[in-house]
């Protein structure tokens, strides 16, 4: 290791600290109490949609994305075309 790189070396501990803070904020708030939030959301949303339209279990996609500032919950439900709609 050269003298220059010794002085220029970036410290990694602050990175560890920041990553942990972000991760744990999510795990405590979202996953913490309910270990399977995504699955639960999927079931409940599906139940609401099914009151109006018949949807297959496989046609629902739930995705959760975690970022430093915002998290997004993406729910994609494929609704079958009503019978005779194409006619």
Partner 1 sequence: MAKVLVVTSGKGGVGKTTSSAALGAALAHGGEKVVVIDFDVGLRNLDLVMGAERRVVFDLINVVQGDAKLNQALIRDKRLENLSLLPASQTRDKDALTEEGVARVLDELRQKFDWIICDSPAGIERGATMAMRHADVAVVVTNPEVSSVRDSDRIIGLLDSKTELAEKGGRIEKHLLLTRYDPVRAERGEMLKVDDVLEILSIPLIGIIPESEEVLRASNVGSPVTLNNPASAPGRAYFDAVRRLKGETVELTIPTDKKGLFGKLFGRRAA
Two tokens, residue 9: 């070396």
DSSP letter for 87, please: -
28 binds partner 1 (CB under 8 A): yes
CA angle 9, 14, 18 (to 5 degrees): 140
Judged by beta carbon, residue 22 or residue 49, the one nearer partner 1 is 22
* Residue from the set 4, 13, 48, 83 that interacts with partner 1 by CB under 8 A: 13
Comparing C-alpha atoms, which of 45, 51, 52 is closest to residue 76? 45
68 binds partner 1 (CB under 8 A): no
What residue ranges bind partner 1 (CB under 8 A)? 11-14, 16-17, 19-21, 23-24, 27-28, 32
């Amino acid at each position: 290791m050269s003298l220059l790189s010794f002085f220029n070396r970036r410290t990694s501990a602050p990175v560890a600290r920041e990553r942990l803070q972000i991760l744990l904020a999510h795990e405590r708030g979202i996953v913490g109490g309910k270990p399977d939030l995504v699955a639960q959301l999927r079931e409940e949303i599906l139940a609401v949609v099914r009151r109006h339209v018949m949807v297959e279990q496989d046609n629902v996609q739930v995705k959760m994305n975690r970022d430093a500032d915002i998290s997004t919950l993406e729910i994609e439900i494929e609704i079958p075309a009503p019978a005779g709609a194409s006619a």
